[in-house]
Structure 1
Amino acid sequence: MERPDLPGQVVFRLHPDQGVARHAAVRLFECVEKDLRALLPASADVRHVGATAVAACLTKGDLDVVVRVEADAFADADRALAARFARNEGSKRTACFSSFEDSGTVPHLGIQLTVQGGADDCFHLLTDALSADPALVEAYNALKRRFDGEPMEAYREAKGAFIRDVLADQGI
């Protein structure tokens, strides 16, 4: 979404109906989880993460899923996901992390593939931290409210700093 005063810039927007957004994400996760389990090794850990996985956390209305695999299963899992989903070209790709998306789903679907215990294996930890601490959710919501209607890049920078702080507080 763009703002007229910020041509060419994507703008961060909270979903106008948080209940509808959360319900849609949960329903989509139920379907996607089945598909992923059919594609991936039985040992893969498939989790709903992000704002829609945390009660009372504000969301822009997308679904984030993390797939965690052992290091020796990463390459095969990456190939399997790449055969089914588009790579997220705006995201980094390493030997232990890759990202996929499906912009044809409602809501938009993002899938992060990580090696268990790897440097980028933190998505579930943030979700767990938020789920355990209502004050942390409120702080995250305040950040989201502050950036609602602002450039996505600025929101992502602030969100990244928030996440780094949360994970550092968790000793990660």
Structure 2
Amino acid sequence: MRFVEEHTVRSAVADAFADHAAALQALLPEADVQHVGSTAVPGSFTKGDLDIAVRVTAEGFATADRVLAEAFERNTGSDQSPTFASFLNDDLPIPLGIQLCVVGGPEDFFLQQRAFFRAHPEENENYNTLKLQNFGKTMTEYREAKQSYFEVLMASPAYTAFRP
């Protein structure tokens, strides 16, 4: 794994988000499209990719999943469920990850995480430390460490009590 400081890709990621958000809104006009992930949190280390959360109603999920599957590659390295699907395009200048989730569903935590890291820079530094500890390791090793970190974080009193 390799990471860069968020500010070094901020402008390019903002431009990419504007373009992708417009395209996603055209495909799914009822969706809430949000920039999430490390490039949405100032001061983060990032892989330099763009993560977008596409939030839809439970009733609209199957249609949104089908529409996105026609336009993007499914991310087979990510869990899928009746309320969550992940898509990607790693061939773009700014690699793209799309996280489709049901509003209020079990996987609808991306906005909460973004707000928490923005409000708690010390916790963002802890996450940055984890990333730097995984510099040069495989994606699998990084994902395992990241999953463990988020399990602890999301169970912490500070996180569970946090309201954006």
TM-score normalised per structure 1 = 0.87
Change (3 A) 1:151 1:103: closer
> Which one-letter code corresponds to 2:58 in the other structure?
A
2:138 to 151, 154, 169: 151
Q: Alignment partner of 2:53: what SS?
A: strand
Identity %: 43
> Which one-letter code corresponds to 1:35 in the other structure?
A
**Matches of 1:112 and 1:74 in 2, distance apart?**
12
> Which one-letter code corresponds to 1:19 in the other structure?
H
Flag structure 2 segments of 5+ consecutive residues without an equivalent: none
Corresponding residue of 1:35 = 23
Q: Give the 4+ runs in structure 1 shifted more than 4 A.
A: none
Q: Alignment partner of 1:110: what SS?
A: strand
TM-score normalised per structure 2 = 0.91
Corresponding residue of 1:112 = 99
> Which one-letter code corresponds to 1:39 in the other structure?
L
Q: Does residue 24 in structure 1 map to residue 29 in structure 2?
A: no
**Matches of 1:71 and 1:37 in 2, distance apart?**
17
Matched positions, count: 159
**Matches of 2:113 and 2:155 in 1, distance apart?**
11
2:56–2:103 contact (8 Å) kept in structure 1: yes
How big is the shift at 1:18? 4.1
Q: Alignment partner of 2:82: what SS?
A: coil
**Matches of 1:128 and 1:160 in 2, distance apart?**
19
Q: Alignment partner of 2:151: what SS?
A: helix
Cα RMSD for the two superposed structures: 1.5
Q: Alignment partner of 1:117: what SS?
A: coil
Flag structure 1 segments of 5+ consecutive residues without an equivalent: 1-11
Corresponding residue of 1:13 = 2
Q: Alignment partner of 1:171: what SS?
A: helix
Corresponding residue of 2:76 = 89
How big is the shift at 1:94? 1.4
Corresponding residue of 2:63 = 76
**Matches of 1:22 and 1:148 in 2, distance apart?**
21
